[in-house]
Amino acid sequence: MKKIILTSVLILTAVLAAQSQVVLTGRITDAATDEPLIGAQVVVTSAKGNGTATDLDGNFRLETKVSLPLTLSVEYIGYRTEEIDVYDDSEPIDIQLTEEVNTLSEVVIIGYGTQKRTQLTGSVTTVSADILENSRQATIDAALSGQVSGLNVTASSGQPGAESHIRIRGGNSVNASNEPLYVVDGFIYFKDAATGSTGLGAIEGSLNPLATINPNDIESIEVLKDVSATAIYGSRGANGVILITTKKGSLGQEKSEINYGYSIGVSRIAKKLELFDASQWAKIQKDYFGNKGGYTDEQIAALGQGTDWQDAVLRDAVQQTHELSITGGTQKNRYAFSFNYTDQDGIILNSGFERYNFHTNTEWELKKGLNFGLNVTFGRSKQSGLTTTESQIFNSSPYSAGITNSFVYALLMPPVVPVYNADGSYNFNNPYEYAYFAIGSHSANPVYDLEESVADNINNYLLSNVWASYRLGGLTLKASVGLNSEKLTQEYFSGAYTSLGLATQGIGGVGNRQTDVWQQEYTASYAIDINDSNSLDALVGYTRQTQTSTYSSIRTNHYTNEALKQYNLGDGSNIYTPNTGISESSLNSFLARVNYSYLDRYNATATFRADNSSRFAKSHRWGYFPSLGLSWNAEKEHFLSSAYDLDYLKVRASAGLVGNQEISDYAFTTSYATGSYAGSSSYAKKNTANDNLRWETTASYNVGVDLGLWHNKVSIVTDVYFKKTSDLLLVVPLGFSAGVSTQLQNVGNVVNKGAELSVNWNLISRKRKSWSISANIAYNDNEITDMGVTDNVIQGSDNQQILRRGEPLGSFYGLVFKGIVQKDEDVSQLPTVNGLTPKAGDLKFEDYDGNGRIDGNDRQILGSVQPKFIYGFSTKYSWRNLDLSASFSGSYGNKVYNALGRRLELTGDSYNVLTTVHDSWTPENGGNTLPLASNPRPFSYIDDRYVQDASYLKLRNVTVSYRLPLDKDFPTVHIYVTGLNLLTLTRYKGYDPEVSSGTDSGAYPSARTILFGTNISF
């Protein structure tokens, strides 16, 4: 009986206990995507330790003895913590968390580590994956345009896969590289200009070194601009550093995320030049150039449009991409894999870009604290471009005459000459061509040139980095070894009927360059919170990078059979001297950095790097690059506590030294080039030793303010900076006794000073409606402050540029145009030209030196390639399933020398001209821009008519994206339409004001593109 009573009591107790237990169940999801949040912490606030975590489906079950009502707190990293009062447990508690937009907790990637944004002392701008994805560009340089204040991206041409020139806070150097340093997942990825060529020549442009990185693989890009951020890269930090971090899976993600994207689009030339049609051209031939065609007025009228050669070499180009990415992870490892295929036809016949790219980023936790990772990118890209006439000399140099490639030649073709004969075959008879591209009755046909010529850059690349790290308390040891191996193959072939092959009965060549860059890095870092107020982290490390580049190329001509083109070079009866070589360099570096923070309010970063580079003279190989950065989070001060609208106010200041070592490998020593002479080997002196060749050093100072207002809805970043580059690496003319005409020396200084402002404004940020605007503007003033004894170095094929003390780099130099001599004008007061007094219809120029005659001494600075301002603006609006985004970028105050325009206003009896030639001076109608059409032109020196304002505003991208309203069980499907480069506002008269070199010799024109695409996520 006792047993029964005892059992009954126990059961009753258990039942009562069970009854007092509250069981709460529910699900935690992302408010924006409705995706379950795995591992979210659900805690009863009044009972410490009484909590649980959500499972793989976001569900939770929590038992508590706290009686209702109670308060539950739900926390998840990166999301706003939610509290909810629970009054009854009769139904599941579904809670949606909203992502937290909080700059305070944001962690920024910096060189060799990460840092809380609040503790940063340097100027670092982050570009998120979202922006790169929205850009829909094949390469990251194009995607960065207009996104970062002070970062100027200028396309070298509209050729698909072509490189861009990127300048961060202006250019520092004349002869060393001005390109920033790229670091991909810790691997220093810098491309010497030399590694983009095999020495073959004849191929216009080169493959973009950044084409090996697929923008969709990138998680974020950090642009390091000031010395506090870049000094850790020492000798390679002067031009700024771009850190690229690729996507990873997430630890604990469990479920794989699979994304597939496809896009297809069409491109068309953004702007066409207006050229004479057949009637107009024949009339000017009849009026001024002897009427070689013998046309009567009636026949001229009947000619009509004739052949539009510009249209004939252009096309609507189709492009498509496939993207597949898989990411995932477990508690102990994470992975990301992606594949990209891009096939992009160019708008010029037979040109394009094709890329296969594979990327993987994996990480394993081998033991507690011991991690191991592997990043691998490999693939193949192929750029089919144009052949260039640069090395072609037949009769005289067509390149010097402005006929730089077959596209330009097409613009010059007389519109009375047809592309095809009546039987459909190519027409090789152009009676007006006698200067450059005709032999006997055969003359070149640009359409045939483009269709049949080969000018390919093919790059097979591998970028791999394997690393291991061990963490013990605050100490982290990390070692990594990486290899960047690239095999560049260049192939070209121009048959006997092409402009390049006419003189030699065809010409072709194949070149190969194998470049291997090995990198080892060993770092130790230690982070400690000394007490509640003081925290410190320190880093020391050693890195070594070696580069070996071997190259070889062969060219032949005179073929009997062109069927296999460059794959049968042995058919050529004439073989050029083979070109082979090797180049090696190494860089050994020690680095150290200490970050100190007091109360998370006062922060300091001290950095030091010592580099030993093989590129400099033996006694000058070590370079030392220190920097100090300070920052103050002023909003934490008591006196600002009542400033309710102010969430964040940081003042930053930095100073330090960085360097530039990007010159050729053996510039410090005497070297000889091999060749052949009269059938025997020959050597020619190529360089003479400079035992004092050393680093180009940039001293940099920066002051900045970061501001967050109204719950950080508005964030403002502004910086002012001063950079002085000393010991400029400059090619200096030498006397004859040296055996070479020039030598690289450390001469002179360049100063860049400027200011930057960027504003981000989240106007609306709700679950189904958001609107954000970003804008930035940067001013930079570039000036050569010293050039030693080599002042006034004139450069360029038309002597159009000058290096001069007191002027910016890339200054244009020429005469100032003063109009056309009119009929009744008193010519006796005009300065003479070539000893002759100008007559009506002749050009007038300013007599700058006032000596009464126009000559080279009357040339003046006509502006420069350096913009006064660059700016960008982008906006994104989301409403329910619909996203709209647009981005603009522009520059103001930069000039471009329009060599193509100058060439196309040169009248004669062979080539077509722009319709502006209609405005040439005539005795009847006057005119004040172009001389009498029959007068010789251009003048020996360039003038300011052709140094044109290249300020522009471009609508880079407009995207409309829609997420299909499918059931949750279905994959997420987005469809989108994107317009690229839809609008350009500019006064520039050429194809495109974006000309990276500053001289527009007829580069590949830019295209306007419409893309349709879809993204499917499983």
Report the distance separating Cα 803 and Cα 798, nearest Å: 15
Give the Å distances, CA to CA, from 311 to 272, 349, 361, 404, 418.
9, 10, 46, 18, 12
In the bound state with another protein, the residue whose beta carbon lies nearer, of 95 and 1011, is 95
Most distant CA pair in the chain, distance: 140
Smallest separation (angstroms) from another protein to the CB of 765: 8
**DSSP, res 439:** E
Smallest separation (angstroms) from another protein to the CB of 93: 5
In the bound state with another protein, the residue whose beta carbon lies nearer, of 52 and 333, is 52
In the bound state with another protein, the residue whose beta carbon lies nearer, of 71 and 560, is 71
In the bound state with another protein, the residue whose beta carbon lies nearer, of 100 and 791, is 100
**919-921-925-927 Cα dihedral, nearest 10 degrees:** 70
In the bound state with another protein, the residue whose beta carbon lies nearer, of 12 and 764, is 764
Smallest separation (angstroms) from another protein to the CB of 11: 14
In the bound state with another protein, the residue whose beta carbon lies nearer, of 22 and 610, is 22
Dump strand ranges (E) for 661-790: 671-677, 680-687, 696-709, 714-726, 729-733, 742-746, 749-765, 769-786
Smallest separation (angstroms) from another protein to the CB of 646: 13
Smallest separation (angstroms) from another protein to the CB of 95: 7
Smallest separation (angstroms) from another protein to the CB of 712: 12
Give the Å distances, CA to CA, from 413 to 410, 431, 451, 910, 1004.
5, 11, 16, 8, 17
Smallest separation (angstroms) from another protein to the CB of 707: 16
Question: Closest by alpha carbon to 358, among 459, 261, 462, 256?
Answer: 462
In the bound state with another protein, the residue whose beta carbon lies nearer, of 92 and 474, is 92
Report the distance separating Cα 248 and Cα 600, nearest Å: 29
- The torsion angles phi and psi of 512, rounded to 5 degrees, stand at -130, 140
Question: Closest by alpha carbon to 112, among 591, 629, 482, 597?
Answer: 591
Task: End-to-end CA distance of the chain: give it in Å, rounded.
Answer: 64
In the bound state with another protein, the residue whose beta carbon lies nearer, of 50 and 552, is 50
Residue in the structure block whose two tokens are 């330090």: 656
CB distance 236 to 410 below 8 Å: no
In the bound state with another protein, the residue whose beta carbon lies nearer, of 92 and 971, is 92
Task: Kindly report the length of the chain.
Answer: 1018
CB distance 981 to 1008 below 8 Å: yes
In the bound state with another protein, the residue whose beta carbon lies nearer, of 839 and 880, is 880
Report the distance separating Cα 611 and Cα 236, nearest Å: 9
Smallest separation (angstroms) from another protein to the CB of 127: 25
Give the Å distances, CA to CA, from 882 to 246, 736, 874, 946, 960.
27, 69, 17, 46, 7
Specify the amino acid at residue 228: S
Smallest separation (angstroms) from another protein to the CB of 773: 13
Q: Write out the two tokens for 771.
A: 């609107």
Smallest separation (angstroms) from another protein to the CB of 771: 9
Handedness of CA 874, 878, 881, 884 (dihedral sign): negative
In the bound state with another protein, the residue whose beta carbon lies nearer, of 8 and 331, is 8
In the bound state with another protein, the residue whose beta carbon lies nearer, of 614 and 712, is 712
Report the distance separating Cα 436 and Cα 751, nearest Å: 44
Report the distance separating Cα 180 and Cα 781, nearest Å: 18
Smallest separation (angstroms) from another protein to the CB of 764: 5
**DSSP, res 453:** -
In the bound state with another protein, the residue whose beta carbon lies nearer, of 34 and 584, is 34
* Alpha-carbon radius of gyration of the chain: 33
Smallest separation (angstroms) from another protein to the CB of 372: 40
CB distance 1015 to 140 below 8 Å: no
Smallest separation (angstroms) from another protein to the CB of 98: 5
In the bound state with another protein, the residue whose beta carbon lies nearer, of 80 and 853, is 80
CB distance 584 to 547 below 8 Å: yes
DSSP-derived secondary structure for 109-142: EETTEEEEGGG--S-EEEEEHHHHHHHT-SSHHH
Smallest separation (angstroms) from another protein to the CB of 70: 10
- Report the interface residues with another protein, using CB under 8 A: 25, 31, 69, 72, 82-96, 98, 645, 710-711, 713, 763-769
SS3 617: coil
Smallest separation (angstroms) from another protein to the CB of 81: 12
343, containing H or E segment: strand 333-345
In the bound state with another protein, the residue whose beta carbon lies nearer, of 102 and 935, is 102
